[in-house]
Structure 1
Amino acid sequence: MNLVSIAWELDRLRWVPSAVLALVVERDGLCMETFPDLPPWVDEEMTDRELAARMCAGCPVRDECLELALRTAGADTVGVWGGLAADDRRELHPHWLQRGERVERGPGS
């Protein structure tokens, strides 16, 4: 996994307000759908990376979700967001910060 390239890919979202990202993720995120049953893989033993890959496979708003998670939780992130496990997002966070300012945080963020 190339964290620098992931940080670069998220640059296209840097000026999108967090409130807009949240609305998009809530509206279009596959994990936000109400499932009538538990997923068939719920009882499988998986690493966090495997769970993230499985949960987020095919989601159309993975980047928006990841950008939102990095903004709101930063290095204190937990769970699965944007197709990455928490450890991967913690490793990504410093690379993401180096990519520059963002809409809510201003210069130097």
Structure 2
Amino acid sequence: MNDQHFADVAAELDDYAAVSEDALEHAVRYQGACGWLATSGGTPEWTGDDGADRELAAPICAGCPVQRECLEWEFRTHGYAIGSVWGPLSAAGRRAVYLHWRDRRDDAGRAGGRS
């Protein structure tokens, strides 16, 4: 994946800028593939190793209907200090998207404050 892909993902997250954290959390917990697995007892045995856990999570995240809500919620709650497995991207990919996301939100805040 290249930097333009990460910028495009960050742009897609603009659709969720006005969504409350509570609504994002609710969507991820109740509509997310990982949430469904957790409540059905089908959660994989996580190893604690990011690479191995990423391999376990990839097929779960790939079909998730709330991937973008998950990323938005993660960025708001964890910022650049990304941990565990969130969304369909690797930790490095999520950090790359986060930098674009933060820049877009900073730019929107500055534009909104202009008269």
User: Is TM (by shorter chain) over 0.5?
Assistant: yes
The answer as to 2:61 corresponding to 1:56 is yes
Rg (Cα) greater in structure: 2
Distance 1:26 1:38 in 2: 14
The superposition leaves residues 33-91 of structure 1 with CA deviations (integer Å, 9 ceiling, x where unpaired) of 2233455x979xx9465444222021110100011001110110111112122221112
Identify unmatched segments of 5+ residues in structure 2: 111-115
1:107 to 2:109 alignment = yes
Aligned to 1:31: 34
Cα distance between partner residues in 1 of 2:56 and 2:104: 28
Q: Distance in 1 between matches of 2:7 and 2:20?
A: 22
Q: CA RMSD in A?
A: 2.6
CA distance in 2, matches of 1:36, 1:107: 42
TM-score normalized with structure 2 length: 0.73
Q: For structure 1, which runs of at least 5 residues remain unmatched after alignment?
A: none
Q: Which among 8, 19, 23 is matched to residue 20 of structure 1?
A: 23
8 Å CA contact retained: 2:85, 2:91 = yes
Contact 2:82 2:91 (C-alpha < 8 Å) held by counterparts: yes
Residue identity matched to 1:5: D
8 A contact 2:29–2:35 mirrored in 1: yes
Write out the 4+ residue segments of structure 1 that deviate beyond 4 Å after TM superposition.
none
So what's the TM-score if we normalise by structure 1?
0.77
Question: How many residue pairs end up in the alignment?
Answer: 102
* Bigger fraction of residues in helix: 2
The answer to whether the Cα contact below 8 Å between 1:52 and 1:84 also exists between their aligned partners in 2 is no
